[in-house]
């Protein structure tokens, strides 16, 4: 009996020691992301769990809710960057030029699978890749067929070129009830850069300087927007209609047409499900197809604590895990093979967005882009609202931008 008690005591002691012993360390990768929609949060968690099952590496997500880029820069300055993080293509040049990112090599087959301009947005002057595109959005023309029909039109009546579209918007406005706009327009450079460069004259030169004046085709394009607002058939969703964003103006049927990204579709389907919409490719400008692409990638800091795991995570999420991420989040995949497997082009609401990927202009133009974007936005807003002429606005935007660029160097 005493021996049985002794054996039980030994077993109990071993059990207690096992329970109190420190758990074996598990490799982990820290991933910094910005706050996003519930669907994207759930999709990230699913894809991260799949990565852990595949590699045995735990994922520690760090959500930066506010001032994402500023927080990241402060972490780099404090030598405490994450192992891998979301990087917007427009912000990539600053970090690449700062030499704080790790190069990300791909095989020739992988390189060929991505849309080339999406990769180019993350290349440094040395030709190396410093980010892998995970998803993108493009602009498309959205139409409300119900409001068109009430005005005596159908979607096929809407011209596919910009000049024709502006004439149509003016005619359409006369047939609409008070308070309903023919079309809404956002005024920032990010929405119009592709259209402005269809004349083959870049607004941002190789020297990083602004070239807002001296481009007759770009002036004519912008002048139509200014004239349309003055004659009240083009409206600002916020300033003129009181909508906090274009999706709300369209969803509450205060506009018939808008040029917007595919990010608007979850709200249109979930919050305004009774409002019909169809999408078309953006109107041609100067007889050329054009749209903007907004691309997000994964980047790995040179000073990451677990750089190897960061590199594995970036390659997984933009490779084997991309289909899971894109399917669950509703974002568009940057790989053509994933796009084909998901049959995205067969989805009527997304087809125009995907079609635009092959010729889209990526919102990324070097380290001077924030300066150019701010000054263009301020000055074009003044022209759009009629407080100064378009010529005066563009001259001021160019002068101030180039002065600030020189001061920054």
Q: What is the mean pLDDT of residues 357-374?
A: 94
Could you say which DSSP state residue 21 is in? S
Residues 75-82: contacts with CB within 8 Å, 24+ apart? 75/32, 76/100, 76/301, 76/303, 79/303, 81/301, 81/303, 81/304, 82/30, 82/31, 82/32, 82/301, 82/304, 82/310
* The pair of three-digit structure tokens given for residue 343, joined into one six-digit string: 């049959």
**Cα angle for residues 36, 188, 32 (degrees, 5° grid):** 25
The whole-number average pLDDT for the span 97-105 is 95
* Angstrom distance (rounded) from CA 346 to CA 336: 14
Q: What is the dotted CATH code of the domain comprising 138-292+365-408?
A: 3.40.190.10
Residue 15's pLDDT is what? 42
Closest CA to 116 of 353, 282, 334, 299: 334
d(CA 140, CA 264): 11
- pLDDT (average), residues 351-374: 95
More confident site: 2 or 30: 30
Counting residues of the chain whose pLDDT is more than 70, the rounded percentage is 94
Say how far residue 377 (Cα) sits from the centre of its chain: 18
Residue among 163, 227, 218 at smallest CA distance from 398? 218
Report the SS3 class of residue 388: coil
Split at pLDDT 50, 70, 90, the class of 334 is very high
Q: Give CATH for domain 28-136+294-362.
A: 3.40.190.10
Q: What pLDDT shows up at residue 217?
A: 95
Is the overall model pTM greater than 0.85, yes or no? yes
More confident residue, 109 or 9: 109
pLDDT digits (tens, 9 = 90+) for 221-238: 999 999 999 999 999 999
**Per-residue model confidence as pLDDT tens digits over 113-146:** 999 999 999 999 999 999 999 999 999 999 999 9
- What percent helix, strand, coil does the chain show, rounded to 5? 50, 15, 35
Q: Where in the chain is the domain with CATH 3.40.190.10?
A: 28-136+294-362, 138-292+365-408
Q: Is the pLDDT of residue 256 over 80?
A: yes
């Amino acid at each position: 009996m005493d021996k049985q008690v002794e054996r039980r005591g030994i077993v109990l002691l071993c059990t207690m020691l096992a329970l109190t012993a420190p758990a074996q360390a598990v490799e982990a990768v820290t991933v910094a992301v910005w706050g996003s929609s519930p669907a994207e949060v759930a999709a990230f968690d699913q894809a991260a769990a799949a990565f852990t099952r595949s590699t045995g590496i735990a994922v520690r997500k760090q959500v930066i809710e506010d001032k994402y880029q500023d927080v990241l820069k402060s972490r780099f300055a404090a030598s405490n960057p994450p192992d891998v993080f979301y990087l917007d293509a427009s912000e990539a040049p600053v970090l690449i030029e700062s030499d704080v990112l790790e190069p990300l090599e791909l095989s020739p087959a992988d390189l060929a699978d991505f849309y080339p301009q999406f990769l180019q947005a993350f290349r440094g002057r040395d030709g190396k890749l410093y980010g892998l595109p995970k998803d993108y959005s493009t602009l498309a023309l959205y139409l409300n067929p119900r409001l068109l029909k009430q005005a005596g039109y159908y979607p096929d009546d809407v011209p596919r070129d910009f000049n024709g579209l502006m004439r149509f918007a003016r005619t359409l406005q006369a047939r609409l009830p008070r308070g309903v706009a023919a079309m809404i327009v956002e005024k920032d450079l990010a929405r119009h850069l592709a259209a402005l460069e269809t004349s083959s004259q870049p607004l941002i030169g190789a020297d990083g300087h602004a070239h807002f004046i001296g481009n007759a085709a770009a002036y004519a394009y912008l002048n139509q927007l200014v004239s349309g607002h003055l004659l009240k058939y083009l409206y600002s969703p916020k300033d003129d209609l009181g909508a906090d964003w274009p999706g709300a103006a369209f969803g509450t049927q205060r506009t018939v047409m808008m040029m917007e990204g595919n990010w608007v579709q979850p709200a249109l389907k979930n919050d305004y499900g009774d409002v019909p919409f169809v999408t078309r490719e953006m109107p041609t400008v100067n007889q050329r197809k054009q749209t903007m692409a907004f691309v997000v990638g994964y980047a790995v800091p040179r000073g990451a604590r677990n750089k190897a795991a960061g590199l594995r995570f970036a390659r997984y999420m933009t490779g084997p895990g991309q289909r899971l991420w894109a399917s669950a989040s509703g974002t568009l995949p940057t790989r053509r093979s994933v796009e084909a497997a998901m049959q995205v082009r067969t989805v009527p609401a997304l087809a125009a967005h995907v079609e635009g990927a092959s010729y889209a202009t990526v919102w990324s133009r070097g380290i001077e882009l924030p300066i150019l974007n701010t000054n263009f936005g301020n000055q074009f807003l003044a022209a759009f609202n009629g407080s100064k002429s378009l010529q005066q606005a563009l001259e001021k935007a160019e002068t101030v931008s180039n002065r600030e660029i020189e001061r920054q160097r």
